[in-house]
Chain A
Amino acid sequence: QVQLVQSGAEVKKPGSSVKVSCKASGDTFRSYGISWVRQASGQGLEWMGGIIPMYGTTYYAQHFRGRVTITADESTSTAYMEVTSLTSDDTAIYYCARVVYSGSYSQFDSWGRGILVTVSS
């Protein structure tokens, strides 16, 4: 059973950047993808982007393209996401999720516990 362990809460100033991590254990890191999903307080889930470590390919939601960078370190089974030019609208819980591909289907079958990122002056 895979476990995704995320880094701790962050408090950032507007205009700064934040880099959060997601370490996978219990399964081969390369055999699936990692996606990042955020959720503002009282709001729904928003897919931000993802990476397939086996291929090193990254994908981003249009809304975040250019401001979000997702990377992965296979040697430590850790995925990272950096968000730049933070504003108060980026205050949210950030989840990582394992993306399993079965045939032409895909699903987020394991999730981290989430990281609260607060952007405040």
Chain B
Amino acid sequence: IQMTQSPSSLSASVGDRVTITCRASQSISNYLNWYQQKPGKAPQLLIYAASRLQSGVPSRFSGSGSGTDFTLTINSLQPEDVASYYCQQTYSTPTFTFGPGTKVDL
């Protein structure tokens, strides 16, 4: 299963609503996770099962979608949200695939 993301990078202002799209090469139901990776750090889980917020993740992050098309939304972008964001399909568990990533800058 191949994953694509768009855009590959974006610039936004503090307070903006940011939307990142992830697309799977075949239907994966809602077997889709999102990760945030800040510069120089390990990735962190943001959302699993397409729309479930991981414990401790701010509520300005949300996920939606099913089948082949998914969206990660950041409501009111904050300076600490500067990072790269990756989707991951888990439909083919125990094997996995990540998307190529989206870099978010201010």
Contact = CB atoms under 8 A, between A and B. Distances in A.
Interface of A: 33, 35, 37, 44-47, 50, 52, 57, 59-61, 95, 97, 99, 101, 104-109, 111-114
Nearest to A62: B95
B58 to A, nearest CB: 17
Q: How large is the interface on B (under 10, 10 to 19, 20 to 34, 35 or more residues)?
A: 20 to 34
Contact of B96 (A47, A101, A111, A112): A47
A119 B23 CA distance: 34
Contacts of B31: 104-105
A44 B42 contact: no
A40 B86 CA distance: 15
A112 B90 contact: no
Nearest to A60: B95
Nearest 9 pairs of A and B residues by beta carbon: A111-B42, A107-B48, A44-B101, A45-B98, A59-B94, A47-B96, A106-B90, A106-B93, A44-B100
Contacts of A109: 45, 54
A107 B25 CA distance: 20
Contacts of A47: 88, 95-98
